Amino acid sequence: MPGRLPRPLAAALPLVAVGAGVLVPGAASTHRVAPPQVDLHATTAAAVTPSVPSPPATTPGAVGGFGSAPVLGAPGSALAAPIVGMARTPSGTGYWLVGADGGVFPYGDAGFYGSLGATHLNKPIVGVAATPDGKGYWLVASDGGVFPFGDAKFFGSTGSTPLNKPIVGIAATPTGNGYLLAASDGGIFEFGDATFHGSLGSTPLNQPIVGIAATRSGQGYWLAASDGGIFNFGDAAFHGSLGSTKLNKPIVAIAPSPTGDGYWMAASDGGVFSFGDALYSGALAPEPSSTAVTAMAPGTTDDSYWLATAPAPPPPPVSAQVQASSVGGQPLGSFVVTCYDLGGTTASGARTSMATVAVDPSVIRMGSTIDIAGVGTRIAQDTGGAIVGHRLDLWLPTYSDCASWGVQTRSVTLVN
C-alpha cells in the first residue's frame, strides 16, 4: 500500500564538521557526543551537570535521563526482546518502555494497561504512543498492526494491507482520537482525527525513515531518516538536519521539544543532536560491542529527554566475511534484513526451511543462492509485500528467534 503523495519540503540546511564534543554550526543546532555530565550547548560556556546523571549504558535495557528527566527504572538485560520504543507520561515523572515482542514496562507514575508479551505477533512491535491523559497507549507493529490499551481507542491499522515498506513509528493526535503511522519509505497513514499533510511515499530517499514526531497542534509532523535528514509537513517548522553530515552511527529516533519549536535526534551510539529550542543536556556512551540506543522520549522542559538501550546488532564475524569473499560471487551491497516464522509453502512452491529467504525478485532472481554476512547462504524462495528493493526477510523457526533478530543491516553476495 503506497503512502500518500508528498508536498514540497523545506530545503535542508546541512551542518558541517562533526566530532566528539564539537559544536556543529547550522540552523541553530548543536551536535554533541560528549559524556552525559557535560553540556556543550553553543550558548553556554560552562559545563553543566544534569540533575539526574545518566547510568552507564553498558548493558541492554538501560535508561539515561538528561536535564530534568529522572531515571525511574529500567528492565536491564533480562529481556525476552529488545527495547524498541519509549513514551512519557503527561507529568514527566513516568515512562513506558516497549519491547519488540510487545512487552510493556512502566516506571514512575506510568500505569500498566496491558501488553502483548505472551501474544504471537505476525511482525515485531516498532513503536509506542501514549494517550494525552496518560491512561493508555498504542503499540504498533512493523506491518502496521495497531494494539490499543487502557483508554486508547482503535481507529484503524494497515495490519492486513500489503505495504511497500514497513512501519517504523506512530504519533498520536493531541485529542487522543487518532494517530499517524510512518513507513520507512516516508509513507504516511492517518487514522481517526489525524490529518494528512504530506508524505515521501513516492520520493527516492538516500536512507530510510526511522521515526515520526508530531507538532503540539496535531497539524504537522517531522520525519527523520537514518542519515539525519529531516522532512517537515504541515505546521512543523524546519530547524535543521544532518542529511549531508557523515555520522559515526545511524539516527534511530526523533523527539519534539515541549513547545514544538525544536526537536532532538538520537543516534545508535548515544549521540544527541539538538535543533531549534531543544537544548542539549548530554549523551550516552554505550559499549559499542554490545549495546545501542534504540529509543528516545522528550521530557517536559526544553533541556530534558531520555534515551533507552537494547542489544546492538552483532557485526558480521570475520569467518562470514571470509566466506562471502571466498565464494567469488557478486557483491550486492547492504540489505535491511527482517525475519518471519510462519511455516508453509513459499512463493516458489518450496516448503519454508532454514534455507529460505524472501526477496524482491526484481533485485534478486528467484532460485538464486545468496550469502548473507553473519548468516550464511540462503535460497531466494519467497516474496513479500513489504520486501521491496534492498530488503530481505529470513525464515527462522520460532517467534522468539525473530524477536531476537529484530531488524538488521547486512552485506549480501550473490553466489549463483
Domains of the chain: 30-311 (2.130.10.10), 318-414 (2.40.40.10)
Q: Does residue 89 register a pLDDT over 90?
A: yes
CB-based burial label for 195 (10 Å; 0-12, 13-18, 19+): middle
Strands 356-358, 376-382: pairing kind: parallel
- The DSSP line for 188-240 is EEEEET-------TTS--SS-EEEEEE-TTSSEEEEEETTS-EEEEETPPP--
pLDDT of residue 314: 54
Per the DSSP assignment, residues forming a β-bridge with 340 are: 395
Burial 304-342 (b: 16+ CB within 10 A, else e): bbbbbbbbbbeebeeebeebbeebebeebeebbbbbbbe
Mean pLDDT in residue range 10-19: 26
pLDDT of residue 328: 56
CA distances from 149 to 112, 153, 192, 297, 347 (A): 9, 8, 16, 19, 36
- Residue located via cell numbers 494494539: 147
Q: Does residue 41 register a pLDDT over 70?
A: no
- Give the three-state DSSP class for 399: helix
Point out the least confidently predicted range of 73-87, 246-260, 291-305.
73-87
Residue 246: how many other CB atoms lie within 10 Å: 9
CA distances from 143 to 139, 158, 246, 312, 357 (A): 12, 7, 30, 23, 18
Percent of the chain's residues with pLDDT above 90: 50
- Give the three-state DSSP class for 402: helix
State how far the Cα of 72 lies from the Cα of 347, in Å rounded to an integer. 48
Mean pLDDT in residue range 33-62: 38
pLDDT of residue 179: 98
pLDDT of residue 163: 86
Longest dimension (CA), the chain: 66
**Angle value at C-alpha 175, between 198 and 127, nearest 5 degrees:** 65
The mean pLDDT of the chain is 81
- The DSSP line for 316-355 is PPHHHHHHHHHTT-EEEEEEEEEEE---SB-TTSPBP-TT
pTM > 0.75: no
Point out the least confidently predicted range of 6-10, 67-71, 92-96, 406-410.
6-10
Q: What is the pLDDT of residues 351-363, one digit of tens each?
A: 888 889 999 888 9
**Residue partners of 415: CB distance under 8 A and separation at least 6:** 327, 329, 368, 369, 370, 371, 377
- Give the three-state DSSP class for 36: coil
Highest mean pLDDT of the ranges 33-42, 132-141, 347-356: 132-141
